[in-house]
Amino acid sequence: MAKLELSIDRISRSRRNLFTSVRLDRLAEYRDDDEWVQQALHSDSVCFVPLWRNRNLLAETGAEQKAVYLEPGKLEHIDAIQPPTLLGMDDKRYFFAVAINDKQRDELLEQHPGAEFLDLRMASIDIDAKHAGVLAYAKALLYWQYRHAFCGACGNPNRIESSGHKLVCSDQECGRQSFPRIDPAIIVLVTQGDACLLGRNAVWPPRRFSTLAGFVEPGESLEDALVREVYEEAQVRLKGIRYVSSQPWPFPASAMCGFYAEAENRECGASDEMEEVRWITAPGLKKAIMEDEVRLPPPVSIAFRLISDWYRQQCGEDLKPLVRQAGSWRSRNR
Ligand SMILES: [Zn+2]
């Protein structure tokens, strides 16, 4: 494989991926400090991230969609459904995620003409990258609370503690605690010589090709999962792998761990999961995109990042304008 040298140091590299761009101090040490939380909630520096049915509030501003936050006093009962969840602070504001009900949704939409509650995945193509991380973090935590409303051991309702970061069974005898869950997944661009391997899953939109990916199974390391998935999906044997960067992927609760891998040779084959896999060189990819034969995943995804970094390494060109020019993102995601 051509050596893929990345210009950013290893610690900062994942910050180039969407949903990781805002650095919040998560203030974990204050989550159990009720007095501190109440003060923060009632301070002028508080800022609420509203979620309605797991959708985020976004406003269209020119070419971009921007996160809409609520200032104090914008909603009468911010805790109408459940107590606000402490996300953290940037240099000037405390961020709390709040679930809102249908009536509050109507009020907010009236207060913010041009704003909509959107599925973050659908919205994220043109999203203001800076705050996408705050929205994704809020969405992931509230989704977890919603899906774990009841104790997994005894079935009694859970109550929210630690400012939204812990659930505790309301049955005193049981008292089981649960913490936010994340499902680790690997995602990998396999290369061999001057070509990379792209696959097409039958359930994807027409002509979509992407990297290979899959969930890590119990008892597996990330590396084991990667080798297994690549063989299962494409019948390709690997001889080397390299970790690149990671991305939180709250659809609904994954952590994507991105790798490059080098194949032993170009033998490959379709599988139950992938209806087609193909080796493609950088010039071949360019042609396929221009002719709308291949459509890549949206640029917000780590899959696109892996492909575009490889492409730039191969031919020195940026893939984004090319794909934008081909115009295949927006139309199929709206
Ligand atoms: Zn219980």
Distance from the CA of 144 to the center of ligand 1, in angstroms?
Answer: 17
Residue 292 Cα to ligand 1 midpoint, Å, equals: 53
Concatenating the DSSP letter of every residue in 73-115 gives TSSS-TTSSSPPEEEEE-SS-EEEEEE--HHHHHHHHHHSTTE
Q: 179: CA distance to ligand 1 center in Å?
A: 14
Distance 158 CA to ligand 1 centre (A): 7
| β pairing state of 274-281 and 55-61 | unpaired
* CATH placement of domain 182-333: 3.90.79.10
Task: Write the pLDDT tens digit of every residue in 41-100.
Answer: 999 999 999 999 999 999 987 777 889 999 887 777 777 778 999 999 988 899 999 999
134 Cα to the center of ligand 1, angstroms? 31
Q: For the segment 119-157, what is each residue's pLDDT rounded down to a tens digit?
A: 887 766 667 777 888 999 999 999 999 999 999 999 999
Ligand 1 centroid, distance to 153 Cα (angstroms):
5
What are the domain boundaries of the chain?
Answer: 15-136, 148-180, 182-333
Gap from CA of 163 to ligand 1 centroid (Å): 20
Full-model pTM: 0.86
In this model, does residue 5 exceed pLDDT 90?
no
Cα of 79 to ligand 1 centre, how many Å? 24
User: Are 15-136 and 182-333 in the same CATH fold?
Assistant: yes
User: What CATH topology corresponds to 15-136?
Assistant: Nucleoside Triphosphate Pyrophosphohydrolase (3.90.79)
Between the CA of 55 and the centroid of ligand 1 the distance, in Å, is 29
Rounding to the nearest 10 degrees, give the CA dihedral for residues 72, 73, 74, 77.
110
How many angstroms does the Cα of residue 221 sit away from the middle of ligand 1?
A: 31
Comparing CA positions, the residue from 78, 144, 135 lying closest to residue 105 is 78
The alpha carbon of 328 and the centre of ligand 1 are apart by a number of angstroms equal to: 48
Residue 260 predicted with pLDDT over 90: yes
